Structure 1
Amino acid sequence: MAEAIQARVENAVKKSVEELDREHLRKMQANMYKCCTKCCETPSYTMEGAQRCIEQCSLPLQQAQTYVQNELGEFQDRLQRCAMQCQDDLKDLVARGNTNEAMMRSHLEQCLSKCADKHIGILPAMMARMKDTISKYK
């Protein structure tokens, strides 16, 4: 059951990231390549000048990718903290003498499912914020 919960979160994140890639990151990548082509086709640039130009063209995409990775890392950290709280709750049940395995498994699965639902629910706002921030990288 925990695998199904994990798969549900992973699918939601994957779908959101793919949308972000299609709508924003690929356009940025295409713009970067067009800009880099201009750098390479400008005969007045020295070798160093062309390299600096290429680096400048690459900067917005690199910043956007770093930002996305950081946001996804924070999302993953939050999800892990939620799952750890479920584990802690389960330990508290055991400490109070509740050792019915089926009940404990059910409690853990319900808690993990709530974590998944909560985090899937915050994905749209997180993605909107990320899209807004990425659109400012020019």
Structure 2
Amino acid sequence: MEEEQQRLQKAAMDVMDTLDRRCLRTLQIQMHECAIDCCKDTTNNIKTLETCSNNCSKELVEAQNYIQNEFNKWQQRILRCVQDCSDAVTDKMPSSRNHSDTTEMKYIKEAEACASKCFNKHIQLLPKLTDKIVDNISNKTVRY
């Protein structure tokens, strides 16, 4: 089970790396170039400079928040799936006085196999999620 969780975590990190390369770095470059322009404008006082610099980072922060929100929803779906597995196995288990350690292990393995299917299913959803995020950030079709 731990191996499955590590595989899920690695897949998520790979997506984050992809999103960084395909979207976030461009936004970071734009943010820094904008901030440099704010600093170069010698007519700006300190307050105006601060406002200008803060405005430069808005798009990046919004994109990061959007990505985090999408990943939170993805993780919640995994948790619901795993919880459904646990509930299904719990419903099958006999009363505590009517089962042995062997029976308990059988149900634990069943729950783990079900959870493994959840992980695999949600790993397979990552390419589509990645494309959706990149498309939405690139086209700014959603309000992050």
For residues 10 and 119 of structure 2, the distance between their equivalents in structure 1, rounded to whole angstroms, comes to: 11
Aligned Cα RMSD in Å?
A: 1.6
User: Out of 106, 117, 120, which is 1:114 matched to?
Assistant: 117
For residues 121 and 24 of structure 1, the distance between their equivalents in structure 2, rounded to whole angstroms, comes to: 21
Equivalenced residue count is: 136
TM-score, normalised on structure 2? 0.87
Structure 1, unmatched stretches of 5+, are none
For residues 108 and 4 of structure 1, the distance between their equivalents in structure 2, rounded to whole angstroms, comes to: 15
Partner in structure 2 of residue 19 of structure 1:
18
Residue range with higher mean Cα deviation, 15-24 or 94-103: 94-103
For residues 98 and 15 of structure 1, the distance between their equivalents in structure 2, rounded to whole angstroms, comes to: 43
Amino acid in the other structure paired with 2:50: Q
For residues 111 and 71 of structure 2, the distance between their equivalents in structure 1, rounded to whole angstroms, comes to: 24
Percent of aligned pairs sharing the same letter: 33
Partner in structure 2 of residue 134 of structure 1:
137
For residues 117 and 101 of structure 1, the distance between their equivalents in structure 2, rounded to whole angstroms, comes to: 24
For residues 12 and 19 of structure 1, the distance between their equivalents in structure 2, rounded to whole angstroms, comes to: 11
Alignment of 1:1-138 (within 5 A): 2-95=1-94, 100-137=103-140
Encode CA deviations 1:51-78: one digit per residue, 9 max, x unaligned.
2211111000000011111111111111
Shift in Å, 1:98: 6.9
For residues 80 and 106 of structure 1, the distance between their equivalents in structure 2, rounded to whole angstroms, comes to: 18
- Give every structure 1 segment of 4 or more consecutive aligned residues whose post-TM-superposition deviation is greater than 3 Å: 95-99
Amino acid in the other structure paired with 1:105: I
Structure 2, unmatched stretches of 5+, are none
Amino acid in the other structure paired with 2:54: E
